[in-house]
A and B are shown apart, each in its own frame.
Chain A
Amino acid sequence: MNEIFAVAGVVIKELYRRKDFYVLFILTVLICLVMASVNFFNDSHIVRYLKEICLLLIWICSLAIAITTTARQIPAERENRTLFPLLAKPLSRTRLLLGKFLGCWLACGLMLLCFYLFFGALAASREHHWPLLNYLQAALLHWVMLAVVIAFTLLGSLVFTAPSSNITISFASVAFILLLARHLNKVALQLPEPRRSILYGLYYCIPHLELFDVRDLIIHDWPPIAWTVCGVAALYALAYASALLIGACLIFHRKAIN
């Protein structure tokens, strides 16, 4: 485990020493502050549009950082030839991969902490109350969802040669799932066989990332979800992440890296 945490530590250092996160965070803050400065009918208590914009930006930034950071881990190591002195140590490929996954996931967790703290401050400035439990739940679900995305992107980095291809495909897949996965069953039921079965099969196979998108509940002040339900969702995500990581390890073991 020590090696896994050591590799993860390097990934986290890389994230906070690169400019990506700071640029996106500052951009998010600026956009939100500009939107907050707009006057709608002299009412200073309107907040939900601001929460929606902020959460949308958080989701976009978090996916951008998670996917781009993860997509370049192994290819950059290979391209920069840092992979060789690394694997020349008593470090198995499996542990290296797990370390990369853990590093990306923890780095995204830290990033989400910063974003959600800003979101909380922004919302509290208008609402004058802070539903901590709701925000914590949203942040945790968001973080757990990113585990699936990171595992998926890590697998893609071993399948696709170019990081740009991996990034594009990962983004497209995640966007498809977030926007349309919930409705695939409705579309499937309207189709004749065999397309119905194919689409329903796809519906069951893909990880339903939209389960973790609870922005509407946060924006419109709905009560928090039961924690047991959250726990089940987290297990669901971790199961998918594990399956994807196992696939990635199997591919990485067979791959010649020289």
Chain B
Amino acid sequence: MNATIELERPLIAADNTRDTPRKPGGVSQDIIAIEHLRVEYPTRERGQPTKPAVKDLTLSVHPGEVFGFLGPNGAGKTTTMNVLLGFTHATGGNACLFGTSVREPISRQRIGYLPELTYYYKFLTAEELLRFYARLFHIPRTEADRRIDQVLQLVELDHARRRPIKTYSKGMQQRVGLAQALINNPELLMLDEPTSGLDPIGRMKVREIIQRLHNEGKTVFFSSHELGEVETVCDRVAILHRGELKAEGRVRDLVAQHQCNLEQVFLRVVGYQP
């Protein structure tokens, strides 16, 4: 067990208001519950052991919080998200969304996902795309129409709703991505590098949306390299390095403990020596 995590434990244990009791049988009421997750990829070379991408990760995300998932490139953030979204099968351990195993498609009924690279069916219009996704969520037609109008206005794409996505700029495509992530009014929003490639105005708008969702009691789980933003919006963060959880806790607690800003905490935790 990593010494850094040992230090965090007292901080987590003291925060009783955020601790959620575990149900008998080990099933958590957390929105996201990861227990001893292990993901290994086979290597191409013969005789070589498998390559571990995530090692014995245990993590939980509580309802209503904004959770930042941090780590340098190759730390295992995307792999963990892929397991949560069902893109990759875990080699060992458990992962649950809303108490349901991630292997069940129904576990994704109440989530919205915004990938880092936003590509959608170029031959569809924004409206058609959202209607398609609404159908996948079994949203009734009238409700879907209302939601589509709502999210398109939210992401300021109402004027271009009937144009094919292939005519959209990069910023517009990212906004379509955000719209499709919100179409089902998700209780958990999973964002992978949401502000990547956005201009300052775009980043501000994403922050506003995250804040708004937080105010509505939604849970936001996102990975990012923009530690300044993470420090601003997140309630709790987890820092991953080489597949292992190095730190987890409230942002202010980590900052207070290390007596520096989040960026320096990050660098210390991952062992970066300038």
Residues of chain A at the chain B interface (Cβ within 8 Å):
2-3, 5-6, 9-10, 13-14, 17-18, 80-82, 84-92, 95, 256-258
Contacts and interface: CB of A to CB of B under 8 A. Distances in A.
B180 A85 contact: yes
Nearest to A253: B89
A89 B133 contact: yes
Nearest to A257: B87
Given A17-B123, A84-B85, A84-B115, 20 more contacts: A2-B138, A6-B132, A6-B136, A10-B124, A13-B123, A13-B124, A80-B122, A81-B117, A82-B120, A85-B113, A87-B85, A87-B86, A88-B85, A90-B108, A90-B136, A91-B136, A257-B88, A258-B78, A258-B82, A258-B87
A89 B136 CA distance: 7
B58 interface: no
A91 B87 contact: no
Interface of B: 78-79, 82, 85-89, 105-109, 111, 113-115, 117, 119-124, 128, 132-133, 135-138, 177, 180-181, 190
Contacts of A17: 123
10 closest A-B pairs by CB: A88-B113, A6-B135, A92-B105, A89-B136, A90-B109, A17-B123, A81-B119, A90-B108, A90-B105, A258-B87
A51 B112 CA distance: 54
9 contacts: A6-B132, A6-B136, A13-B124, A87-B87, A88-B111, A89-B136, A92-B105, A257-B87, A258-B78
A19 to B, nearest CB: 11
A2 B137 CA distance: 9
A91 B105 contact: yes
B115 A2 contact: no
Nearest to A5: B135
A67 B67 CA distance: 45
Contacts of B114: 85
B45 to A, nearest CB: 18
B99 to A, nearest CB: 15
A82 B121 contact: yes
Contacts of A87: 85-87
Contacts of B122: 80
Contacts of B86: 87-88
A1 to B, nearest CB: 11
